[in-house]
Structure 1
Amino acid sequence: MTTPYRTSVRRVSIARLISLAGSEAAFIALIAALYTRTHSTTWVSAGLLAAIGVRGLVAPLAGSLGDRLDRRHVMIGSDLGAAACFAALVFLDEPAALVAVAALASVFESPFFPASSAAIPNLVPTERLTWANATLSSSASIGRMLGPLVGGLLVAAAGPSGAFAANGASFLVSAALVASVRADFRTRRADDGAHAGLAAGFAFLVHDRTLRTMTAAWTVMLLFVGVILVAEYPLTEQFGMGSVGYGALVAGWGVGVVGGSWLAARVLRARTEVQVLVVGTLVMGVAMGSVGVSPWFAPIVGLMVLGGLGNGLIDVAETTLVQLRTPDAVRSRVFAASETLVLGAFGVSFVAGGPLVDAVGPQPVYALGALGAGLAALLLATLLRVPVTAHRTPEDELVAEPQLAATR
């Protein structure tokens, strides 16, 4: 019996929430373990590269799995492989071993996001894509918001090993939820004709004007915004708020993303995706620019909520637009290609962030973020008159129709 599409999306969303919360908790534990055992920022940098940089390197291959194989099986395999890695981390102490196994865990985790994002159009009818993406975005944001809090508590109570064990268990729960969904996660074999090869996602991005311009906009913006992530903790220190203030900033942004996702589900309509992207980008820019000039900390927390709201609007509109413009046969690789470019921009920004914050201080860096958002909005505005063309096929509709019928 086919699982109703609403139930399918909610189970995938809960799976993403649980696995992301566990991963964020384990990330806190990894950094804590490396620093307390070595007191070396070099090992902390190695941990960051293992947790984030490796995903960018393997994203093209990870995305191809979601187009070549059953996406449901890819997601389950991703979760089980990551669970095994974090189970192994429980028993490791040497920094080199921790970093190596954390990098392997990142390899296993990488296929889940592109496969799950690419599968959504196969699970729901076209008119419900916005709702489905908003549900996924909200769940992911809640997971990212709760994970660091849970990770800090687990490390304090049971040490890093406790957080690693909890994350391994979270991946098992996620795998079970995905396995419980009885639906077609994809429709056609990939690598047919023009969409062959690992680089097909990049090729599709380059040749589609809308996706090319959107990706360029995010790359420009993130080259500036990534520096802000380096400046967040120094900003809280500047106002004497320390780790409590840092937690408030992270939580405030997460609350905003959840609100933005909720709002997107209610205001996003067919052919308005670009308008929502422009508005969301401008909202982020205004929020970041205002942080750069605020003389008090309390308003900054509110501005982070506002910036997160813009981020939530962007997340839902962007995902929906990629899904509408990308054929099923290459969709997972397109999401993976976009992720590679985003992580690459973040990486460059992270490298420049430390010296820049040291040179000018944390608040002026937020003005740079506002500048990046403004440039991105200008790029996106060139698409306002470009029609949104859906690549949804008759086969896609045949997959979604039984799930729609199951809810009637």
Structure 2
Amino acid sequence: MKQILQSSLWAHRDVRLVLPARALSYAGDAIAMVALMLRVKEYGGTGAITVLLLAFAVPTVVMIPVAGRIVDSYDSRAVLVWATALQAVAGVALAFSHDLVSTVGLVCLLQVGQAIAGPCWGALIPRIVGEGLVGRAIGVSQALIGVAMLVGSAVGGVLVEWIGGRDALLVDAATFGVLTVVAGLVRTRRRPALGAVKESGGFSAGLRTLLGDPLLRVLVVCLWVFVVVGEAVNVVEVFLVIDEVGLNAAGYGWVLAAQGAGAILGAWGSGRLTTSAHRARAVLAGVAGIGLGMVGMGAASGVVLLVLGAVITGAGGGLLNAASSTLIVTRVAEAVRGRVVAALSGTVRACSLVALPLGGLLGGVFGPRATFLGCGVLCVVGAMGAALLVARTKDSAEEVVSH
């Protein structure tokens, strides 16, 4: 019994602190997103909404050169406490802002904290649980985050209605306060080794590590292309659901909930994977699943196929995110994990910025249904092509074990 307990993910004290606290913070983020979308909608319609979405994405890209270097060069406790405290302060200020300029500026400040905290948590979790439980930890963490975001999205509108947008944003700020306390309580720490020669470069070191691994090189490039193609449909999704299929706003919310439920299942299932080969296949299966789900949604004339496609799309996304995250942190040296996670996050965000105008262009020229169908087919074909490249990759390197 003692051996079973020791091998359990939840036997680790820091896991019991970090995973629930991060999930709570994501629930707060979902609440805040609802409140901010409703606030900004009144400031300037679709143009203001676009500016808000850019404010969430751009800081992650801008911070690529420095975020990873900060994570790998300083004590993780100090980095996490300061980054989450910055988010808490920005969240409080955001609650009391009254115009578009200050709202966008404070969202950017909030995301600067996230650009640092995200890679730091990503690099710390393997140190907390040990290399053998990394896959399970990431899968469980992303499943919990998926549940939290579903709950947060569901109650966000209700909270705004009941207590107002300002207090709903203060709820989000409070969750960052909780995360700051947890960051200070976590016993496991990442520190640069005494006397170690620091590798120059932040983004360049992270990207060089990613592309230096034969397997990751294929999968990361595939991921970049997929994000550009796959996320382009986000721009036209609401038009597909409401204008093409004929659902109302509540129906659109249920479609998003179906995607979220699928993502939870996909993330949870990824925790059973134990080798690089299995995780690589899961990444490609996730891309193909998203493509198939998009084709199903694009072909849907009624609710059943639309929701089924949404669940498949979500499951593929959950599997892709969890498997790729685990694959990357288990195949790179511990000393550069912060820079690697930051480089991946930033480049993926940059691809998302490309996907935004591309989706608008495709939707305007071909319509939402054809955009879904075309992008879905490209994702499936791309996954098949990447699978052939992976099969031909000479991958003699196993997971990197760091202590």
The letter for the 2-side match of 1:303 is G
Measure, in 2, the Cα distance between the counterparts of 1:125 and 1:63: 21
Q: Measure how far apart 1:352 and its partner are.
A: 1.8
Deviations 1:235-283 (A, max 9, x none): 1212221221221121111111111122222344464221222222222
User: In the alignment, is residue 210 of structure 1 matched against residue 215 of structure 2?
Assistant: yes
Amino acid at match of 2:219: M
Confirm or deny that 1:6 pairs with 2:12.
yes
Task: Assess if the C-alpha contact under 8 Å between 1:191 and 1:197 holds in 2.
Answer: no
**8 Å Cα contact 2:65-2:201 kept in structure 1:** no
Question: Aligned equivalents of 1:191 and 1:103: distance in 2?
Answer: 34
Cα deviation digits, residues 362-397 of structure 1 (max 9, x gap): 12222233233221442244223524422223xx1x
1:253 maps to: 259
Query: Which residue of structure 2 lines up, in the alignment, with residue 399 of structure 1?
Result: none
Match of 1:46 among 43, 46, 51: 51
1:383 aligned residue (390, 393, 401) = 390
Q: Percent identity?
A: 25
Residue 272 (structure 1) aligns with: 278
Distance change in 2, residues 1:194/1:99 (3 Å): closer
Change (3 A) 1:89 1:189: farther
Q: Which residue of the other structure, out of 95, 119, 128, is the alignment partner of 2:100?
A: 95
Is residue 178 of structure 2 the alignment partner of residue 178 of structure 1? Answer: no
- CA 1:198 to 1:356, structure 2 compared with 1: closer, same or farther past 3 Å? closer
Cα distance change of structure 1 residues 367 and 6 upon mapping to structure 2, 3 Å threshold: farther
Would the alpha carbon gap of residues 263 and 255 (structure 1) be closer, same or farther in structure 2, given more than 3 Å must change?
same
Residue of structure 2 equivalent to 1:392:
401
Helix, strand or coil at the partner of 2:65: helix
Q: Deviations over 1:321-354 (max 9, x none)?
A: 1111111111111111111111111111111212
Count matched residues: 391
- Asked whether the equivalents of residues 118 and 331 of structure 1 are also in contact (C-alpha less than 8 Å), the reply is yes
Which amino acid is the alignment partner of residue 74 of structure 2? Answer: L
2:86 is aligned, of 81, 95, 103, to 81
Which deviates further from its counterpart, 267-276 or 52-61? 267-276
SS at match of 2:186: coil
CA contact (8 A) 2:66 2:202 kept: no
Q: How far apart, CA to CA, are the structure 2 residues paired with 1:264 and 1:101?
A: 35
Asked if residue 309 in structure 1 is aligned to residue 315 in structure 2, the reply is yes
**Contact 1:119 1:186 (8 Å CA) reproduced:** no
Shift of 1:177: 2.6
The answer (yes or no) to whether the contact 1:29–1:151 under 8 Å persists in 2 is: yes
CA contact (8 A) 1:186 1:328 kept: no
In the alignment, residue 127 of structure 2 is paired with which amino acid? N
Tell me which residue corresponds to 2:65.
Answer: 60
Report if the CA contact (8 A) 2:330-2:400 is conserved. yes
Q: Report the equivalent of 1:365.
A: 371
Counterpart code for 2:257: A
How far off is 1:88 after superposition?
0.9
1:165 counterpart letter in structure 2? L
Shift of 1:164: 1.3
2:146 counterpart of 1:141: yes
Give the AA of the match of 1:389. Answer: E
Amino acid at match of 1:379: A
Q: CA deviation at 1:81?
A: 0.6
Residues 31 and 81 (structure 1), Cα distance of their counterparts in 2 relative to 1, 3 Å cut: same
Residues 1:25 and 2:31 aligned together: yes
1:404 match? none
The separation in 1 between residues aligned to 2:124 and 2:200, in whole angstroms, is 17
For residue 226 of structure 2, what is the aligned residue in structure 1?
Answer: 221
TM-score of the pair, normalised by structure 2: 0.90
Match of 1:340 in 2: 346
Query: Given that residues 195 and 330 in structure 1 are in contact (C-alpha distance below 8 angstroms), is that contact kept between their aligned partners in structure 2?
Result: no
Contact persistence 1:214–1:380 (CA under 8 A) = no
Give 2:385's aligned amino acid.
L
| Pairwise CA distance, 1:53 | 2.0
Counterpart contact for 2:219–2:280, Cα < 8 Å: no
Offset of 1:196 from its aligned partner? Answer: 4.3
SS in 2 for 1:39: helix
- Closer/same/farther in 2, CA of residues 100 and 87 from structure 1, 3 Å limit: same
What does residue 289 of structure 2 align with? 283
Q: Do residues 114 (structure 1) and 123 (structure 2) align?
A: no
1:199 aligns with 204
Name which of 219, 242, 251 aligns with 2:248.
Answer: 242
1-side partners of 2:66 and 2:24: how far apart?
Answer: 24
Distance, in Å, in 2 between the alignment partners of 1:126 and 1:367 is 40
Change in Cα spacing, 1:303 to 1:100, as seen in structure 2 (3 Å) is same
CA offsets 1:31-85 (integer angstroms, 9 cap, x no match): 221221x233322222111122222221332222211112233222221111101
Q: In 2 relative to 1, CA 4–147 (structure 1 residues): closer, same or farther, beyond 3 Å? A: closer
- For the residues of structure 1 that align with 2:226 and 2:139, how far apart are their CA atoms? 22
Residue pair 1:225, 1:368 contacting (<8 A) in 2 also: no
Q: 2:137 aligns with which of 114, 132, 141?
A: 132
2:6 aligns with none
Out of 205-214 and 129-138, give the one that drifted further: 205-214
Structure 1: gaps spanning 5 or more residues: 397-408
Match of 1:401 in 2: none
Contact 2:258 2:307 in 1 (8 A): yes
1:136 to 1:208, Cα distance in 2 relative to 1, 3 A: same
1:96 partner letter: V
Aligned counterparts of 1:190 and 1:209: Cα–Cα separation in 2 = 30
Distance in 1 of aligned mates of 2:30 and 2:193:
34
CA deviation after TM superposition for structure 1 residue 234, in Å: 0.7
Do 1:13 and 1:136's aligned partners in 2 also have CA atoms closer than 8 Å? yes
